[in-house]
Structures are given as C-alpha cells and as structure tokens.
Amino acid sequence: MDLAENLKQIVAEVLKIEESVIKPKSSLRYDLIVTSISFIKIVTKIEDIFEIEVDDDALDIEEDMDFQTFCSKVEKIINDN
C-alpha cells in the first residue's frame, strides 16, 4: 500500500467516512470537513503509525489544502525524519 492509500485510510477512519469520498483535490477543510480536533487526531495517528514527530508548523489545518497536497507534505515530513 502506498503512502496516499495509507493516509486515505487514516483520514477516513478518523472522519468516519468511506475512503471513496476522498479524492486528490478534496479540500480537507471544506470538502472533507476536517475540524481542528479531527486534524489533531489524524496527525497523532500519522505520528504513531510512521513513528515520526510532526512539527506544529509542518502541517496546519488553517492552510486550506487538498488531500494531494496533504499527502505531499506528510511524505516530506517522513523523508526528513
């Protein structure tokens, strides 16, 4: 399973939605309705699964990003760890 699929699974699980709803251009905030609380849960799950620490500045829900951008940012964080 590639990184995007892993992240899709994490996001779907936290948000309690079907993975098929998550598209590359889905806005985390506006299409998937990721709240601050759910974003923290997603980041915590990523940290646990990938055994990394995510800097608060590295991922920010206030920055409206689509799922594809989110995946790219997580990939960079993983590679930098």
Question: What are the tens digits of pLDDT across the range 43-71?
Answer: 999 999 999 999 878 888 777 899 999 99
State both tokens at 27: 């806005």
Supply the pLDDT for residue 8: 97
Distance CA 51, CA 54 (A): 10
Domains of the chain, each with CATH number or no CATH: 3-80 (1.10.1200.10)
State both tokens at 67: 């799922």
Within 13 Å and on the Cβ side, how many CA atoms surround 49?
Answer: 14
Asked whether the beta carbons of 46 and 54 are under 8 A apart, the reply is: yes
State both tokens at 16: 């309690």
Mean pLDDT, the chain, integer? 93
Degrees, nearest 5: CA angle 77-80-81: 90
